[in-house]
Amino acid sequence: MRNNFSWTSSLGISAALFITIAVIYMLIGTLGLIIIKTNATGRTGKQFYLSKEVDTKVFGKTRSELIQQSPEFAKYITMLMYVFCSFMVGMGILQYGVARFALTEGQNWAYWVSVLSNVFMLLIYWLMVILPVLQEYKVGYFALWHPYALIPSILLPIATILGWIGLNK
């Protein structure tokens, strides 16, 4: 354990970046749950999952056509989004706790949990969702509007390097 922790040290900045990533996950997940609940994706929302443009390309029909033809499908997508958003909130809370209460104490395990959980989540998300959709449907990144993947993808390497430096001083 480190009694001389400082938020301005490399370890402190690393912890702050991991906390920032965690807060992004919590905010996006919470906002997603609120938006889905108030708009009920299958009833009045403008999109199902990715974006109005991408949803139409993926499903071959507009959202309103799909809802009219299969209201069960809209309910299913809504439930999937609840699950996705709840996992985002849960991941954020867990990562916040690990970074704030263990990484700031210089715990090596907290560093590896923070790094690996983000690496695997972001790799899977980029490789299994973002890149295939961009390639197959020929849309731009911001047609998907996924800042919760982009911002953590930028912050993660910085947090990882600074954390490594801070723990190995």
| Average pLDDT score over residue span 130-140 | 83
pLDDT at 44 over 50: no
CA distances from 87 to 27, 36, 110, 128 (A): 12, 15, 20, 17
130 found inside a domain:
yes
How confident is the prediction for the chain on average, in pLDDT?
87
Cα distance between residue 101 and residue 125, in whole Å: 27
What average pLDDT does range 78-103 have in this prediction?
94
Each residue of 16-37: pLDDT tens digit?
Answer: 999 999 999 999 999 888 887 7
Is the entire prediction scored with pTM above 0.75?
Answer: yes
Q: Does 77 score more than 50 pLDDT? A: yes
Residue 2 lies in a domain: no
Q: Is residue 3 part of a domain?
A: no
Q: What is the tally of structural domains in the chain?
A: 1
**DSSP at 28:** H
Across 132-149, b (16+ Cβ under 10 Å) vs e yields: ebbeebebeeebbebebb
Q: Does residue 14 belong to any structural domain of this protein?
A: yes
Residue 60 banded pLDDT, cuts 50, 70, 90: confident
> Is residue 19, in this structure, part of any structural domain at all?
yes
In a domain? residue 5? no
Structural domain contains residue 107: yes
Secondary structure of residue 5 in the 3-state scheme:
coil
Measuring CA to CA, which residue among 26, 8, 25, 83 is closest to residue 49? 83
Question: Looking at the domain assignment, is residue 56 inside a domain?
Answer: yes
Return the closest-CA partner of residue 73 out of 81, 33, 4.
Answer: 81
Q: Which range of residues forms the domain containing residue 92?
A: 10-167
All residues at 6 or more sequence positions from 92 whose CB lies less than 8 Å from its CB, including other chains: 22, 23, 24, 25, 26, 27, 29
